[in-house]
Amino acid sequence: MGRLPNVRKGSWTQEEDILLKKCIEKYGEGKWRHVPARAGLNRCRKSCRLRWLNYLRPNIKRGEFAVDEVDLIIRLHKLLGNRWSLIAGRIPGRTANDIKNYWNCHLSKKMSAELMRVTTQDTIKYPTSINTFTPNSDYLSGSMLGSEMYRSPQEEEIRYCSSLTENKPRQDQEEEDDGGSFWNSMLYEVADNSEKSFSTAGPSEAIHHKNDLFLEFEGWLSNMELWNIVLENE
């Protein structure tokens, strides 16, 4: 299937916005393949969808990000990485594109500078890396932490985390909850990666790897409050 010829590109006009808005109001969101024809627009379905989601949809917040929004973005990004749609889902009125743009323009540089500052300070025990940490099932079930490699004074907290994941929706409960499948897939993905690293690395490397992961885990524990936000409505 080739590209649609003579499809209009570039900025949207007010007239196009009105047509699209009327179309969505009449037929509802979704079925984007029908939208250009229904609306009488010479645009591709992707362009229509993007315009609606990022600009025309009701309740979209515009203008400066509030301090608490920025704080939440930073913390969610630390936790989730560049999963903009997921981050946007936790910040009412903001689109994934807005947040991505804001991050790229304002925050990424700020965070890099902060990382540089922090990593050059000897007094900081662990660098507060901007790398994201996502828990895997081994961590949370305690199977890794319970090994002979190390024991942590935070075992109680780990058990608490374990109980959190155990309460996550199971496969058979996910029909009404998209978030459940996300978390499960993420857990499996990270667990997979950990398994691969352990199997390919030598013993000493494996120990370092585990220690690194533990440091990250400590960082994650400090974000329990944030996890509660993320887990809301899951």
Task: Give me the residues that bind DNA (CB under 7 A), please.
Answer: 1, 8-12, 30-33, 43, 45-47, 49-51, 54-55, 62, 82-86, 96-98, 100-102, 104-106
Question: Toward DNA, which CB reaches closer, 32 or 198?
Answer: 32
Shortest CB 4 distance to DNA, Å: 10
Nearer to DNA, 14 or 222 (CB): 14
Q: Report, in Å, the least distance between residue 147 CB and DNA.
A: 30
Residue 231's nearest CA partner among 178, 168, 175, 189 is 168
Closer of 146 and 179 to DNA (Cβ):
179
CB of 21 to DNA, least distance (A): 13
Task: Using the structure block, give the residue that is written with the tokens 């997979």.
Answer: 192
Q: Write the single-letter amino acid at 150.
A: Y
Beta strands in the chain (DSSP E): none
CB closer to DNA out of 54 and 141: 54
Least distance (Å) from DNA to the CB of residue 55?
Answer: 5
Neighbours of 212 (CB within 10 A): 12
Amino acid present at 85: S
What are the structure tokens assigned to 222, written together?
A: 């400090």
Q: Which is nearer to DNA, 161 or 230 (CB)?
A: 230
Shortest spacing between CB 182 and DNA, in angstroms: 10
**Separation of first and last alpha carbons in the chain:** 38
Token pair 């743009």 in the structure block, residue: 101
Identify which of 77, 221, 78 has the alpha carbon closest to the alpha carbon of residue 161.
221
Cβ proximity to DNA: between 33 and 151 the closer is 33
* Beta carbons within 8 Å of 224's beta carbon, 6+ residues apart: 157, 161
Least Cβ distance, residue 81 to DNA (angstroms): 8
Query: For the chain, percent helix, then strand, then coil, each to nearest 5?
Result: 65, 0, 35
